[in-house]
Chains A and B, each alone.
Chain A
């Protein structure tokens, strides 16, 4: 099997299935299948689990680049779009649970919440920002947008910050868990800051070395065709 075939027939279906497991668990809980119980307040549990899964997938998506660069498994990028789209899927599910099961379609409350509750405002902003990313996730869009695709998709850094912030702010008192997410996000973003800084330094060194061609300095590209970083 070629690598492409392995991704198509093994790795991608595996990741796809794994991404559906939280949904299966939520469905079992909601309908009482297989003895799964969501406790005394299933609505909050559904809302929280969907939100948590969305955040986990968002951070996993952001982990793809560091992991592939640190391990040399550059093909991992082929899984990234699926992870990102599943993150979007769970954010939408989270929002739907909130609107339908929690607010019971009370749109006045929804409007009030979005306008007045900072953690909802932030979450809603993140949801809106994810929409263009999801729409432009196709190969055709990638080709059509070219360099601008990458610029657009850097929004994901902001979205992740908003997502973690939203989690941190809705907690009543025990902030231990959101702080773990803050730490992971700091690592993921810190990695990119350090990398950019190193690149700039390398570029400067090259310029000082004058003669050397600068072709080795590539933009930080996440696309499958991106050349490997030095």
Chain B
């Protein structure tokens, strides 16, 4: 396999610094009135570098989106509902110290410091496709650990059929939570076999550096064959449950967002088609591409859903 993006982080981040200085020039030149034109906050370029190995076996061969795109185009309603709000607002989130509460059908319970949870876990970079339910997509070099490695430490019992994740609830840090667009805190969940699947990633970094707040720092989920909203951000609770978790978007609009939310070009959203998607950052007139079943990961994951009617369990 070709070693496409060795040490991608520093080289990819450099253009961003160039970009920032250009922006500073512009900001000076345009002075007032520029605020409408230029995003106010910079994407955090100062994230500490991480130690990781590149997992090319699990990486796609597509060119990743720019750091700037991945950090200024976010759905993270805890920081506002515009795509660029999180990049402006998420600086209020304090990601250290951070603890995660583990509960439910497992032998090990309790509240753990994030540093302790990650101790001894080898970080990997994986370049995954990311498909939003809104029919746009990106390619993202995440850094994280397989979720199964983390979950195994808690020794789930045989009664654990699902894993439930919860985002921090703190309207002072997450001002978007003052607006009832969703039921706060955000909850997501996976079937235990989905959670244990080797593609399912617990993410702590992006482009080789500590994950920026707007992308869900310090700990977020990525399930590359599912729509992006399954990838819950800023996780503070992990629970093992016997019943299917009541997940945020599913509760908000059950006919539009299913629990499974597997990427499926054949099952449209009631208000828009899922047959194709637009790749962010692609040139004008060359951005739309067909959406792949399971976002292109069908070979690895389709067997999880054998015999299931994917129209019903969308």
Interface of A toward B, CB cutoff 8 Å: 34-37, 39-44, 100-104, 106, 109, 112-113, 116-119, 169-170, 172-174, 176
Contacts and interface: CB of A to CB of B under 8 A. Distances in A.
Given A106-B288, A173-B252, A173-B253, A39 B72 contact: yes
Nearest to B289: A104
A49 to B, nearest CB: 12
A173 B75 CA distance: 12
Contact of A37 (B29, B38, B275, B286): B38
Interface of B: 26, 29-30, 34, 37-39, 68-69, 72-73, 77, 81, 83-84, 134, 136, 179, 181-182, 252-253, 268, 271-273, 275-276, 278, 280-281, 284-288
A173 B273 contact: no
23 contacts: A34-B30, A37-B37, A37-B39, A39-B83, A40-B73, A40-B83, A40-B280, A40-B281, A41-B73, A41-B83, A41-B280, A102-B288, A104-B285, A104-B286, A104-B288, A109-B276, A113-B273, A116-B268, A117-B273, A172-B134, A173-B77, A174-B77, A174-B179
B131 to A, nearest CB: 14
Nearest to B65: A40
A35 B253 contact: no
Contacts of A113: 272-273
A29 to B, nearest CB: 9
Contacts of A118: 271
B287 A173 contact: no
A113 B273 CA distance: 8
B126 to A, nearest CB: 21
For the complex of A and B, the 10 pairs showing the least CB-CB separation, nearest first, are A40-B73, A174-B81, A40-B69, A35-B26, A104-B288, A174-B181, A173-B181, A36-B37, A40-B280, A40-B72
A219 B275 CA distance: 51
A119 B276 contact: no
B84 A39 contact: yes
Contacts of A44: 136
Contacts of A103: 288
Contact of A173 (B29, B73, B182, B278): B182
Nearest to A170: B271
B181 A101 contact: no
A39 B73 contact: yes
Contacts of B81: 173-174
A40 B69 CA distance: 5
A100 B281 CA distance: 17
Nearest to A109: B273
A116 B268 CA distance: 10
Contact of B68 (A40, A102, A172): A40
- Which of A43, A113, A116, A119 has the most B CB atoms < 10 Å from its CB? A43
Nearest to B134: A172
B271 A119 contact: yes
B220 to A, nearest CB: 19
Contacts of B179: 174, 176
Contacts of A117: 271-273
A176 B80 CA distance: 12
A104 B287 contact: yes
